[in-house]
Amino acid sequence: MTAGSAPGQEDDQSGRQGAPRGGGTASTLRRGIAVLEALTRRTVDLSRGLGSTEVAKIVGCDKSQASRTLWALVELGLVERAPEGRGFRPTWALYGLGVRAADIQLVRLSSPVLSRLSAKLECAAFLTVRDGTRVLAIWGEGLDAKKFAEAGTRWTVYASAAGQALLVDYSKAELASLLHDVTLERFTAHTPQTLDDVWRRIGECRRLGYAVSDREWDDHLTAVAVPVRGSFGDVIAAIAVAGSSEQLGPKVQLAAALCEQACDYLSGQIRRASGHQPARPDEPHLPRWLSRLP
């Protein structure tokens, strides 16, 4: 770490080339798992991540070994550079591989909520996050969940309710930068075709507090999504419900209201669990329909 730099900001270029070496396949695998555990459990600020020096101290290996392992995980898409500083952080692709440790709070807290949402609306319910220019479903509940998407499934960020909810805080300039190299493929007659189309849908989501995708991705599919906010008020995920347009279409307002209640509940739980912020005095009480959570 250079003089004056903050933890997690050291420039790790030396170990970028090649996979981690030393100790054979088993030790390399153990080190890779240990590094992932360090990143998922010890990263407090995801915008800064952890640097190779910090990871090396946590894992108990040389900085060069930690750096090579981190860059190998970057190449695999499991780790990425943090947007601020020069640290590393885990990507949501970990969930696509089925990684679901008990202390992954977001998935653990949302699973029973999704189950109740699905039962109440008689449709599939998902927890989603943004993975680059696509939406990643990291958990799903309901009898129809596999019909629409399974955990690890990705779909377009511009033609989905979840994508619009996840981008609700974006400026138009940020949206243009994100979609700069994306071809807006037309799936149906209702698919957004221009940046302005996508921007209008995001604006509508911002105004209403929820996003609706009515036959944008599939001629027979309707979805509703609401952003989930983390301890610092930023959008960290979105809850989405999906079903046939015939079934879910008439229940869009109800679905939006229930998803909003579920997201408020989850956000409150996340704040309390993280300890970053106390519960607000006006924190909504647990909705009656969620009162049977295990």
pLDDT band at 205, cuts 50/70/90?
very high
For the chain, the residue count is: 294
Mean pLDDT of the chain: 79
Domain containing residue 71 = 24-91
At residue 232, the pLDDT reads 73
Pull the structure tokens for residue 109: 């807290």
Give yes or no: residues 159 and 245 share one domain. yes
Residues 220 and 260 in one domain: yes
Residues 45 and 128 in one domain: no
| Residue 8 maps to a domain | no
pLDDT at 96: 52
128 and 241 in a common domain: yes
Is residue 6 situated within a structural domain?
no
Q: In Å, how far from its chain's centre is CA 77?
A: 14
Residue 13 located in a structural domain:
no
Domain count, the chain: 2
Q: Phi-psi region for residue 136, left (φ > 0), alpha (ψ -120 to 50) or beta?
A: beta
In this structure, is residue 212 part of a structural domain?
Answer: yes
Which whole number is the average pLDDT over 195-216? 94
Residues 145 and 233 in one domain: yes
The answer on 113 and 86 residing in a single domain is no
Is residue 86 predicted with pLDDT exceeding 50? yes
Report whether pLDDT(23) > 90: no
Higher pLDDT, 102 or 202: 202
Q: Which residues neighbour 200 within 8 Å (Cβ) at sequence distance 6 or greater?
A: none
| Same domain flag for 268 and 124 | yes
* Tens digit of each residue's pLDDT (9 = 90 or more) over 39-74: 877 665 666 788 899 999 999 999 999 999 999 999
Same domain, 128 and 79: no
**Whether residue 235 has pLDDT greater than 60:** yes
* Domain CATH code at residue 206: 3.30.450.40
pLDDT of 3 higher than 80: no
- Arithmetic mean of pLDDT, 82-101: 66
Q: How far apart are CA 221 and CA 233, in angstroms?
A: 30
Q: Give Rg (Cα) of the chain.
A: 20
pTM of the model: 0.62
- Statement to judge: residues 65 and 153 lie in one domain: no
Same domain, 176 and 79: no
- Taking Cα atoms as reference points, which of 79, 90, 117 lies closest to residue 262? 117
Q: Are residue 171 and residue 255 in the same domain, yes or no?
A: yes
Last residue of a domain, one of 35, 65, 91: 91
Max mean pLDDT range (89-98, 104-113, 170-179): 170-179
The answer to whether position 284 is within a domain reads yes
For residues 128 and 225, the answer to whether their CB atoms sit within 8 Å is: yes
| 61: CATH | 1.10.10.10
Q: Which pLDDT does position 266 carry in this prediction?
A: 87
| Same domain, yes or no: 73 and 175 | no
Write the CA distances from 193 to 155, 182, 205, integer angstroms: 16, 11, 18
**DSSP structural state of residue 280:** P
Phi then psi dihedrals of residue 282, to 5 deg: -95, 15
